[in-house]
């Protein structure tokens, strides 16, 4: 038994855990411990693997829900660290993925409305993309600049078109196996089986999910790949049943306990078990390649659960998603880290783990690695704005116990009649019972015609956030603290809650009627050196060197002077996030 240990941050390169035994302390055999040093060596540029599932609440054994067995995730948790306090910046995927990709809060860069390229007939606006400040790059591009091979398989949904420099590969085939020998990699595997659409009828698994078994095999021929979710399913009879349909579930109090709701809960858990199987396939590939102990593995969801009053809302049911991180050599295996983590923390943490000091403009905080913040987060923040054809304006701030919510449209009810969500049988059941007057007072809260300006919840004693404490004098000090923190955060990031989307677009486009376009790059060659620049501030520049007519599939990231050989052709393109890309220019050397 070890009496004490000096905890240190994970650092790239060689790091040391010093374990000091107190005199007289005995281990389990009764022998005295002696002081010793255990060294664990990590690569200077460790591989990073992200396993990202969709619409994922804490429905997993290691987070307290033992309804379904998850053999692969349970092993990952046993060998890794459990993070129960990860929160998305929105209760829906696209704004949250914008935060993950950039390290910026969605409402600070025009990424807060779900989605910016859809429902234009409702908004009356053209399609547009978020436009971060010019210094902001996608995290994958920053890692590519440091020599990483970066792949995404295959969902994007960032609220903007990714520049051509974002990934070495973003496709159903994308895989670390396509990199150069011994090149460090950052690989993202997206699992969609747990998506809210997995609750629709007719029920069945998506055939396209086999991509995780064939990733990296570019000789594989896809069948029915790329079709709609509704058409691209196996029949329920062919769908593996991972738990009995008679299984009893804990139904949240805001949902009615009816056969329709129980069937959706069965689907939810069955989908999770299938996702776990797919995760296992990817982990097996990692082990087969001998890379397990050279790779830091993240598993997390892109926001909270898929059910009504979960997805799209900024209660914990919509924001909180489980995370597991497995470090090489099972560092801190089987432990729980209770610190608050936000999606905006992922980009700086990724840089910190790979040995790069995160740039100051990032709005998140590194929570691991050489450049981790010395102090843990005190608060997380979130926002809710337009969802499909319906707009609201809500902001939230949470510490480890309390959450404050501010409603900028109190005259508007909570419930938004979103067509997509109403395909879920549970949502249809809620509406049926509401109209029949058969919902209880808790279940009717969501359907109130208006909402208070201020909401305050004790998330420990009231985890479903049903009892508003904002008017309770006993909590006046806490209410004021969180109100002040929200005001500080809104001012710091330049958020403009309840700003009409038309005015937001006017700001993003500087009053122009059309989407701005990235300027053509300038290309100069002197001897065997080529230099490229672009007059559009913040533009990413990509290039391809074509030798003997052989053109690379991927764009390389331009970071400075480029060495070239006579007789080659070079293609160059520039693209600032949120702008249209420039035309491609080609020059013969």
Which residues have CB under 8 Å from 132's CB, separation 6+?
Answer: 102, 104, 109, 538, 577, 578
Q: Say how many Å lie between the first and final Cα of the chain, rounded.
A: 67
How far is the C-alpha of 68 from the C-alpha of 59, rounded, in Å?
Answer: 8
**Residue of 586, 540, 432 whose CA lies nearest to 144:** 540
SS3 content of the chain, % helix, strand, coil (to 5): 25, 20, 50
- Per the CB < 8 A criterion, the answer to whether 572 and 585 are in contact is yes
Which residues have CB under 8 Å from 182's CB, separation 6+?
Answer: none
Report the side by side order of strands in the sheet with 522-526. 522-526, 529-533, 562-563
How far is the C-alpha of 572 from the C-alpha of 548, rounded, in Å?
Answer: 17
**Residue of 105, 110, 114 whose CA lies nearest to 385:** 114
How far is the C-alpha of 211 from the C-alpha of 195, rounded, in Å?
Answer: 16
How far is the C-alpha of 138 from the C-alpha of 147, rounded, in Å?
Answer: 15
Active site residue 150: no
How far is the C-alpha of 381 from the C-alpha of 397, rounded, in Å?
Answer: 5
**Residue of 314, 466, 471, 432 whose CA lies nearest to 382:** 314
How far is the C-alpha of 361 from the C-alpha of 359, rounded, in Å?
Answer: 6
Burial letters for 294-332: b for 16+ Cβ neighbours within 10 Å, e otherwise? bbbbbbbbbbbbbbbbbbbbbbbbbbbbbbbbbbbeebb
- Per the CB < 8 A criterion, the answer to whether 344 and 132 are in contact is no
Which residues have CB under 8 Å from 309's CB, separation 6+?
Answer: 252, 254, 255, 315, 317, 446
**Residue of 471, 414, 407 whose CA lies nearest to 444:** 414
Helix residue spans in 256-315 (DSSP H): 259-288
- Per the CB < 8 A criterion, the answer to whether 153 and 189 are in contact is yes
- Per the CB < 8 A criterion, the answer to whether 570 and 546 are in contact is yes
Burial letters for 399-414: b for 16+ Cβ neighbours within 10 Å, e otherwise? beebbbbbbeeeebeb
Burial letters for 12-22: b for 16+ Cβ neighbours within 10 Å, e otherwise? beeeeeeeebe
Q: Phi, psi (5° rounding) for residue 31?
A: -85, 150
How far is the C-alpha of 100 from the C-alpha of 392, rounded, in Å?
Answer: 23
Which one of 25, 93, 459, 534 is the catalytic residue?
A: 93
Chain centroid to CA 89: how far? 9
Catalytic residue numbers, as ranges: 93
């Amino acid at each position: 038994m070890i009496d004490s240990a000096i905890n240190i941050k994970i650092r790239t390169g060689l790091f040391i855990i010093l374990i000091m035994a107190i005199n007289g302390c005995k281990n389990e055999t009764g022998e005295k411990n002696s002081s010793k040093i255990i060294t664990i060596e990590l690569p200077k540029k460790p591989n990073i693997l992200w396993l990202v599932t969709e619409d994922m609440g804490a429905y997993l054994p290691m987070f307290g829900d033992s309804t379904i067995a998850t053999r692969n995730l349970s092993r990952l948790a046993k060998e890794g660290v459990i993070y129960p306090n990860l929160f998305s910046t929105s209760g829906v995927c696209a704004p949250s993925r914008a935060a993950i990709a950039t390290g910026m809060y969605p409402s600070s860069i025009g990424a807060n409305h779900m989605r910016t390229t859809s429902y234009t007939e409702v908004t009356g606006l053209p399609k547009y993309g978020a436009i971060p400040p010019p210094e902001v790059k996608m995290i994958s591009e920053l890692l590519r600049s440091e020599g990483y091979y970066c792949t995404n398989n295959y969902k994007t949904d960032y609220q903007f078109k990714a520049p051509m420099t974002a990934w070495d590969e973003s496709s159903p085939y994308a895989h670390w196996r396509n990199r150069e020998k011994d090149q460090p990699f950052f690989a993202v595997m997206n699992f969609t089986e747990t998506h809210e659409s997995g609750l629709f009828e007719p029920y069945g698994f998506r055939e396209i999910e086999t991509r995780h078994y064939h990733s990296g095999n570019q000789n594989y021929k896809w069948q029915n790949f790329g079709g709609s979710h509704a058409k691209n399913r196996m029949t329920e009879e062919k769908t593996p049943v991972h738990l009995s349909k008679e299984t009893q579930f804990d139904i949240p109090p805001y949902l009615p306990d009816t056969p329709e709701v129980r069937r959706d809960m069965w689907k939810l858990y069955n989908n999770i078990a299938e996702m776990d199987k797919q995760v296992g396939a990817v982990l097996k590939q990692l082990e087969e390649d001998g890379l397990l102990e050279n790779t830091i593995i993240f598993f997390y969801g892109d926001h909270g659960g898929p059910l009504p009053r979960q997805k799209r809302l900024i209660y914990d049911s919509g924001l909180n998603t489980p995370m597991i991180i497995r470090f090489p050599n099972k560092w801190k295996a089987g432990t729980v880290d209770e610190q608050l983590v936000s999606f905006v923390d992922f980009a700086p943490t990724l840089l910190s783990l790979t040995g790069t000091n995160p740039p100051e403009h990032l709005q998140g905080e590194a929570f691991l690695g050489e450049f981790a913040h010395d102090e843990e987060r005190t608060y997380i923040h979130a926002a809710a704005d337009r969802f499909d054809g319906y707009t609201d304006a809500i902001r939230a701030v949470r510490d480890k116990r309390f959450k404050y919510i501010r409603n900028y449209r109190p005259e508007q009810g909570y419930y938004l009649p979103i067509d997509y969500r109403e395909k879920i049988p549970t949502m249809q059941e809620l509406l049926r019972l509401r109209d029949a007057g058969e919902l209880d007072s808790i279940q009717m809260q969501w359907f109130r015609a208006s909402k208070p300006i201020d909401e305050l919840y004790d998330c420990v004693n009231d985890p479903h956030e049903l009892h508003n404490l904002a008017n309770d004098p006993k909590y006046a000090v806490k209410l004021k603290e969180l109100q002040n923190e929200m005001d500080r955060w809104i001012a710091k990031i330049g958020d403009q809650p309840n700003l009409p989307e038309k005015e937001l677009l006017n700001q993003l486009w500087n009053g122009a009627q059309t989407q701005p376009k990235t300027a053509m790059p300038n290309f100069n060659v002197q001897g065997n050196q080529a230099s490229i620049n672009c007059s559009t501030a913040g533009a990413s520049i990509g290039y391809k060197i074509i030798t003997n007519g052989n053109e690379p599939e991927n764009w390389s990231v331009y970071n400075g002077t480029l060495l070239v050989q006579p007789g080659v052709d070079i293609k160059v393109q520039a693209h600032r996030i949120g702008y249209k890309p420039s035309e491609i220019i080609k020059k013969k050397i």
